[in-house]
């Protein structure tokens, strides 16, 4: 098969592992920087054109054709990246995650609403436009301590633990002053600074790790000094992870959960989960399983087409 990895950098761990896994399984694979592609969206025969203007302004242009693509779209390039993925979909190319599902997953608030509707366990979470609603936001998540989260945050940077109501009110006020969108969330104290990352492919959890926060820290992000190790998930945790990925419409997802007193609660579903942490912690060949998933899914599509 011809497989395209849509990624800005071939040297990234996840990208190079996907290339390696695809080659090992006998596929023709190529890394394509989606920002160097443009597209003809109106043609009878829609196309994606690659032009490496960085290498050479006058470089030859080239139409791309793949049987399948693996989107690894950076958070800052969601809009253009998903447009490229959608264009490949128009060309009957299989995408590991559909463009729509990637867009959906990038909006944290919308994601939580979708998960809630699907009956997936979540920390109690509130959201408001006006600071006049601050009291209600805090009361409804059970009062202090609370977590205040920037909707746009990443790597733990926009996540604050407010130990008292006064602290929560100040943080909410400050963020809203800057026009930032925030969620107020029940603090899952019993998680004890651990969070779970389940790697879901298709209908299965293929690998899972627990991340421990550094001493004195409640955020378990590896960028904040957290450490990771393999973990055996309970059946309920597996079911929750698979249900979350499914509700989001993602075939490959990194589902983050906390162990709360009332069972697993999902805090995030990632559409381009990094492979380095999870492969290192668990020793599972996740990249290989992604490629295997493509093989199964495309041969199933093929059969459906010949039948129809
Ligand atoms: N409601 C909560 N209760 C307890 N701890 C939490 C809660 N929400 C988040 N945390 C801790 O803080 C960490 C960071 O939170 P979260 O994953 O929501 O934000 P982020 O990592 O900045 O965003 P992203 O995962 O999108 O990069 C989590 O990994 C978890 O350890
Ligand atoms: Mg996180």
114 and 196 share a domain? Answer: yes
Range of the domain at 68: 2-95
7 and 72 share a domain? Answer: yes
Q: Rounded CA gap, 29 and 302, in Å?
A: 20
How far away, in angstroms, is 198 Cα from ligand 2 center? Answer: 12
DSSP string of 44-73, one letter each residue: SS-EEEEE-TTT-TTPPEEE---SEEEE--
Q: Rounded CA gap, 257 and 279, in Å?
A: 18
CA distances from 72 to 18, 23, 212, 231 (A): 10, 18, 26, 25
Per-residue pLDDT at 135 exceeds 80: yes
CA distances from 129 to 37, 126, 177 (A): 38, 11, 11
Residue 285 Cβ contacting ligand 1 at under 6 Å: no
Whether 23 and 30 have beta carbons less than 8 Å apart is answered as no
Per-residue pLDDT at 216 exceeds 80: yes
Alpha helices in the chain (DSSP H): 13-24, 78-90, 99-106, 108-117, 134-140, 165-177, 235-248, 276-282, 286-307
Q: Rounded CA gap, 172 and 141, in Å?
A: 14
**Which bound ligand lies closest to the C-alpha atom of 157?**
1
308 band by pLDDT with thresholds 50, 70 and 90: low
Per-residue pLDDT at 53 exceeds 90: no
CB atoms < 10 A from the CB of 148, how many? Answer: 23
Per-residue pLDDT at 306 exceeds 80: no
Residue 218 Cβ contacting ligand 1 at under 6 Å: yes
239 band by pLDDT with thresholds 50, 70 and 90: very high
How far away, in angstroms, is 176 Cα from ligand 1 center? Answer: 20
Residue 155 Cβ contacting ligand 1 at under 6 Å: yes
182 and 202 share a domain? Answer: no
Q: Rounded CA gap, 52 and 72, in Å?
A: 19
Task: Collapse the DSSP code of 296 into the 3-class scheme (helix H, G, I; strand E, B; otherwise coil) and give the result.
Answer: helix
114 and 129 share a domain? Answer: no
Question: How many domains in the chain?
Answer: 3
How far away, in angstroms, is 100 Cα from ligand 2 center? Answer: 21
163 and 27 share a domain? Answer: no
Residue 154 Cβ contacting ligand 1 at under 6 Å: yes
Output the six-digit token pair for 204: 């299965």
Probe ligand 1: pick from 156, 181, 193, 266, max atoms within 8 Å of CB? 156
Residue nearest to atom 27 of ligand 1 (CA): 154
Strands 146-150 and 68-71: unpaired
Q: Rounded CA gap, 48 and 65, in Å?
A: 8
**The domain spanning residue 72 has which CATH number?**
3.40.50.20
Domain-located, residue 301: no
Tens-place pLDDT, residues 265-275: 999 999 999 99
150 and 29 share a domain? Answer: no
Residue 267 Cβ contacting ligand 1 at under 6 Å: yes
**The domain spanning residue 213 has which CATH number?**
3.30.470.20
262 and 197 share a domain? Answer: yes
The rounded Cα 98 to chain-centroid distance in angstroms is 12
Tens-place pLDDT, residues 2-51: 999 999 999 999 999 999 999 999 999 999 999 999 999 998 889 999 99
Domain-located, residue 145: yes
């Amino acid at each position: 098969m011809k497989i395209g990895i849509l990624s800005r950098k071939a040297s990234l761990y996840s990208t190079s592992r996907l290339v390696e896994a695809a080659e090992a399984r006998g596929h023709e694979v190529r890394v394509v920087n989606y920002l160097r592609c443009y597209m003809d969206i109106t043609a009878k025969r829609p196309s994606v054109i690659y032009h490496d203007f960085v290498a050479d302004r006058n470089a030859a242009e080239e139409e791309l054709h793949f049987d399948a693509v693996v989107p690894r779209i950076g958070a800052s390039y969601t809009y253009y990246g998903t447009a490229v993925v959608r264009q490949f979909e128009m060309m009957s190319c299989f995408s590991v995650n559909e463009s729509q599902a990637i867009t959906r997953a990038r909006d944290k608030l919308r994601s939580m609403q979708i998960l809630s509707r699907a009956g997936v366990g979540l920390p109690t979470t509130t959201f408001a436009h006006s600071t006049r609603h601050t009291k209600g936001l805090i009361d409804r998540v059970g009062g202090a301590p609370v977590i205040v989260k920037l909707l746009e945050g990443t790597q733990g940077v926009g996540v604050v633990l407010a130990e008292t109501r006064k602290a929560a009110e100040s943080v909410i006020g400050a963020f809203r002053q800057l026009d930032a969108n925030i969620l107020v969330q029940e603090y899952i104290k019993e998680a004890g600074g651990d969070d779970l990352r389940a790697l879901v492919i298709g209908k299965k959890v293929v690998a899972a790790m627990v991340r421990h926060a550094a001493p004195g820290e409640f955020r378990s992000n590896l960028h904040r000094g957290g450490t990771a190790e393999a973990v055996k998930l309970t059946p309920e945790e597996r079911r929750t992870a698979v249900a979350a990925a499914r509700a989001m419409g993602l075939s490959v997802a990194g589902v983050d959960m906390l162990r709360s007193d009332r069972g697993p609660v999902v805090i995030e579903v990632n559409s381009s989960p990094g492979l380095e942490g999870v492969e290192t912690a668990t020793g599972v060949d996740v990249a290989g399983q992604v490629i295997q998933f493509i093989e199964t899914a495309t041969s199933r599509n093929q059969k459906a087409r010949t039948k129809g």
